[in-house]
Amino acid sequence: MVFGFLSSGNNKKGKERKKLHDSSGNNGKRSSNDIILKDINIFYSGKQAIKDVDMTIPEKKVTAFIGPSGCGKSTLLRNINRMNDEIVGCTYDGEILWQGTDILEKKVDPVALRRRIGMVFQKPNPFPKTIFDNIAYGPKLLGIRNKKKLKEIVEKSLRDAALWNEVKDRLNDSAMGLSGGQQQRLCIARALAVEPDVILMDEPCSALDPIATAKIEDLINELKKEYTVVIVTHNMQQASRISDFTGFMYLGELIEFGKTRQIFENPKEDLTERYITGRFG
Amino acid sequence: MPEKFDHEMGLLNEDIWNMGVLSQKMLLLAVESLKNRDKDLADKVLGMKEELYDYDQHIEEHTLKVLILYQPVAKEMRNLACILKMITYLTRIGRYGYDISKVTLELADQPLVKKLIDIPNMAKIVAGMLDDVLKAWETEDLSLIEDFTERDDVLDEERYSIFRECLTYVMEDPKTITRCMHYVMVARYLERCGDHCCKIAEKVVYKVEGKHVEIS
């Protein structure tokens, strides 16, 4: 602190202004549905990509990872649902505690985990099937055969992904005929169909135009009422618009993590400030 | 992008500095005109109003342009938020100089009730505060504004002292009522200028440390 009158309660010299309300909505309470990352290290063929990351991703909030290319955002994101298990040469250590379990333990079934922690990728990747089948695919794999039940799931998922009104009359058309933005919302609907608790998004809007992007952003804002959302984005305005919490990563390290407003208004770390103001490198 | 942004900020910073100097000049010249019953000087101050308003409008437009085009964050955003508030306070300070010059024109043909000492002293304190707050804004050295609460208290005391002194003159000689009323008003203007300096200081703290504080 540079000078005395900033200290609260010192009426003679001035005081910090009382906040009328805290718009973050997180009152510092911990939940077992928070995702707690402890000492996460990730290596590609022995080369360290993520170094000692500790953070708590709060439940039913949007958390964004930002940072320059190659800083490890996507690598870290993929570890949250063990997608890194599929990458040859990728190893990791540390703990990710969620709902009372370390989800990195070998005994945890990654496939079952991915049903609970879904993922949406940078490029929309619908299956070359009908819109209906795209959504019903996951539930069918889970053994749901009842057509009425499947229809209900498809409708709910498409409604939750704000796509129902646009496709309800052409559910049997190929998903490949949808626009890029619609395809991405279809992928989100597909992820929602298996009733996950968490949705990971790896640059979900980077291939979309501003209108489709706005729809996805609105959707993310709606999704956080029911789901925990973690998003990787290169677009800092997007991170500031949609996320409640932001983590800035650089060279595999989590440099700063905090409420999004704090990160963009008054970052604690000089590196964060330089990155978000474009004065990097 | 940062280079272009820095260029825009350089222009804005220069304008803010010049506007601050102009506000201070209007206030000091106005008080000098009152002290010396100098109508020409008062007229000169009145003529500065347009330039002051031009700065206000131009800086506001320029700041909004930078906000729209560059969407700055962190300290760059805080500085622009600070600038948007600063121009309002600087305009008001300059405007008080204008108002005091009007008083000069009204009283210039009458003798002073007494030699003016406290009013020029208040103006000197305000000018010092304005100097320091502009330097603090530019250099981010918050120690320059550390004692603003105390300086503002001095201004409050001086204003009250002028009020009491004027009361004694008025009670002794009702012919001094008009002049004394004006002196009390001028003291009030100067005290308000001190308040505006404190408000600018609050914004400077926000720019430098990202904290919202109350000073005075």
Tell me: the pLDDT tens digits for A161-213?
Answer: 889 999 999 999 999 999 999 999 999 999 999 999 999 999 999 888 888 88
- CATH number, domain containing residue B117: 1.20.58.220
- Does some domain include residue A24? no
- Does some domain include residue A125? yes
CB contact (8 A) between residue B73 and residue A266: no
**Contact in structure between B215 and A14 (CB atoms under 8 Å):** yes
Tell me the pLDDT of chain A averaged across its residues.
89
Strand partners, A174: A130
**Contact in structure between A65 and A231 (CB atoms under 8 Å):** yes
Q: pLDDT band for A16, please (50, 70, 90 cuts).
A: low
Q: How close does chain B come to A228, measured CA to CA in Å?
A: 26
| Closest residue to B74, CB basis, from A12, A16, A276 | A276
**Contact in structure between B192 and B186 (CB atoms under 8 Å):** no
Specify the pLDDT at position A208: 82
CB contact (8 A) between residue B2 and residue A277: yes
Q: What are phi and psi of A244, to 5 degrees?
A: -90, -35
- Does some domain include residue A68? yes
Q: How close does chain B come to A159, measured CA to CA in Å?
A: 33
Residue-wise pLDDT tens digits, A94-146: 999 999 999 999 999 999 999 999 999 989 999 999 999 999 999 999 899 99
- CATH number, domain containing residue A252: 3.40.50.300
Q: Considering only CB atoms, which chain B residues are within 8 Å of A272?
A: 74
- Does some domain include residue B167? yes
Look up the domain containing B31 and give its range: 2-209
Is the pLDDT at A24 greater than 80? The verdict is no
pLDDT tens for chain B, 216 residues: list them. 578 999 999 999 999 999 999 999 999 999 999 999 999 999 999 999 999 999 999 999 999 999 999 999 999 999 999 999 999 999 999 999 999 999 999 999 999 999 999 999 999 999 999 999 999 999 999 999 999 999 999 999 999 999 999 999 999 999 999 999 999 999 999 999 999 999 999 999 999 999 999 997
- Does some domain include residue B9? yes
- Does some domain include residue B215? no
- Does some domain include residue B214? no
pTM of the predicted structure, to 2 decimals:
0.84
CB contact (8 A) between residue A12 and residue B149: yes
Specify the pLDDT at position A5: 32
**Contact in structure between A64 and A242 (CB atoms under 8 Å):** yes
Question: What does the block give as tokens for A7?
Answer: 């200290």
Number of domains into which chain A is organized: 1
- Does some domain include residue B216? no
- Does some domain include residue A1? no
Is the pLDDT at A81 greater than 60? The verdict is yes
Count of CB pairs separated by less than 8 Å, A with B: 65
- Residue-by-residue DSSP string for A237-265: HHHHHH-SEEEEEETTEEEEEEEHHHHHH
Look up the domain containing A187 and give its range: 29-276
Number of domains into which chain B is organized: 1
Alpha-carbon distances, residue A139 vs A65, A278, B8 (angstroms):
30, 44, 56
DSSP-based three-state secondary structure for A144: coil
Q: How crowded is residue A17: how many other Cβ atoms within 10 Å of its Cβ?
A: 13
Alpha-carbon distances, residue A127 vs A136, A193, B89 (angstroms):
11, 14, 61
